[in-house]
């Protein structure tokens, strides 16, 4: 037996006789304040607008469709790319078929850059930073967040969370699912950068405009 094997054997013997160690409780860095959905919506809107994002609140699916149609009408002529998610499909049901691009497996990234906007659905909204978390199961979904000049994000009010620690258990369950593919994209306002003279420029590394459409659920916030 080598010296290495002897040392490892003693370690195994020592560990075998000890009870398993319990993990210490996680420290509460950001306590949950118990904010209402309305309070979270107001905080989210304030934080989003502080980084040049836009928000539209809709009291129903019907109103959300009307607002989305108005937003699309403001865009330059062209199609909008749409993520294949339930809320996206529901809100674009009344748009002309030739105005919507659902993407195809053989689609090229260049095609997404030529769209007038990308419409994606957020899985979580973090009120303390105005951040949208989008689960992107395919490369098309991920690029739809980045390449079109305008990023439209839809989400129900029930997706609002106070901050990341509150949402972490939900996110961890998704990441632990072996059948889940893709990645999460966290979006906080439009793309922004500054040069050496501290001049802020939007849209250099991604969408120049970010609009969040927040849809009310069950008649109350």
Of the two residues 60 and 205, the one the predictor is more confident about is: 60
φ and ψ of 155, to 5 deg: -160, 150
φ and ψ of 34, to 5 deg: 70, 40
* Per-residue model confidence as pLDDT tens digits over 121-157: 999 999 999 999 999 988 889 999 999 999 999 999 9
Question: Is residue 210 predicted with pLDDT exceeding 60?
Answer: yes
Between CA 50 and CA 169 the distance in angstroms is: 28
Residue 115 domain flag: yes
Specify the range with the lowest mean pLDDT, choosing from 22-31, 46-55, 208-217: 22-31
Residue 8 domain flag: no
Residue 47 domain flag: yes
Specify the range with the lowest mean pLDDT, choosing from 30-39, 59-68, 155-164, 197-206: 197-206
Specify the range with the lowest mean pLDDT, choosing from 13-17, 169-173, 217-221: 217-221
Residue 52 domain flag: yes
Task: Pick the closest to residue 61 from 90, 86, 37 (CA basis).
Answer: 90
What is the reported pLDDT for 220? 45
Question: Is residue 21 predicted with pLDDT exceeding 70?
Answer: no
Residue 21 domain flag: no
Between CA 134 and CA 137 the distance in angstroms is: 9
Structural domain of 155: 35-215
Of the two residues 94 and 217, the one the predictor is more confident about is: 94
Q: How far is CA 148 from CA 7, 85, 90, 127, in A?
A: 59, 18, 21, 25
Instruction: Please give, one letter per residue, the 3-state secondary structure of 37-51.
Output: HHHHHHHHHHHHHHC
Number of domains in the chain: 1
What is the reported pLDDT for 110? 79
Task: Pick the closest to residue 210 from 218, 200, 202 (CA basis).
Answer: 202
- From the CB of residue 60, how many other CB atoms can be counted at a distance below 10 Å? 12
Specify the range with the lowest mean pLDDT, choosing from 53-62, 71-80, 104-113, 205-214: 104-113
Task: Pick the closest to residue 159 from 39, 71, 37, 11 (CA basis).
Answer: 37
With bands split at pLDDT 50, 70 and 90, how would you rate the model's confidence at 199? Answer: confident
Residue 133 domain flag: yes
With bands split at pLDDT 50, 70 and 90, how would you rate the model's confidence at 19? Answer: low
Between CA 138 and CA 180 the distance in angstroms is: 11
Of the two residues 190 and 25, the one the predictor is more confident about is: 190
- CATH number at 176 reads 3.40.50.10420
Residue 44 domain flag: yes
Show the DSSP H helices in 80-194 as ranges.
Answer: 86-91, 109-113, 139-146, 164-176
Residue 19 domain flag: no
Provide CB contacts within 8 A for 73, sequence distance 6+. none
């Amino acid at each position: 037996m080598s010296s290495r094997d002897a040392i490892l054997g003693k370690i195994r013997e020592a560990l075998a006789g000890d009870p398993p160690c319990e993990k210490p409780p996680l420290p509460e860095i950001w306590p949950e304040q118990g904010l209402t959905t309305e309070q979270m919506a107001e905080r989210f809107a304030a934080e989003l607008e502080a980084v040049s994002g836009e928000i539209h609140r809709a009291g129903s699916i019907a109103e959300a469709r009307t607002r989305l149609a108005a937003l699309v009408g403001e865009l330059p002529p062209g199609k909008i790319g749409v993520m294949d998610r339930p809320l996206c499909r529901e809100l674009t049901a009344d748009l002309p078929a030739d105005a919507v691009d659902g993407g195809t497996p053989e689609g090229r990234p260049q095609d997404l850059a030529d769209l007038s906007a990308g419409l994606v659905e957020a899985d979580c909204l973090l009120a303390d930073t105005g951040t949208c978390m989008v689960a992107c199961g395919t490369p098309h979904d991920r690029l739809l967040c980045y390449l079109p000049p305008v990023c439209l994000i839809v989400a129900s009010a029930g997706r609002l969370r106070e901050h990341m620690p509150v949402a972490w258990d939900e996110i961890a369950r998704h990441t632990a699912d072996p059948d889940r593919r893709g990645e999460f994209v966290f979006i906080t306002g439009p793309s922004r950068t500054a040069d050496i003279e501290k001049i802020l420029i939007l849209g250099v590394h991604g969408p120049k405009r970010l609009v969040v459409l927040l849809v009310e659920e069950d008649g109350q916030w």
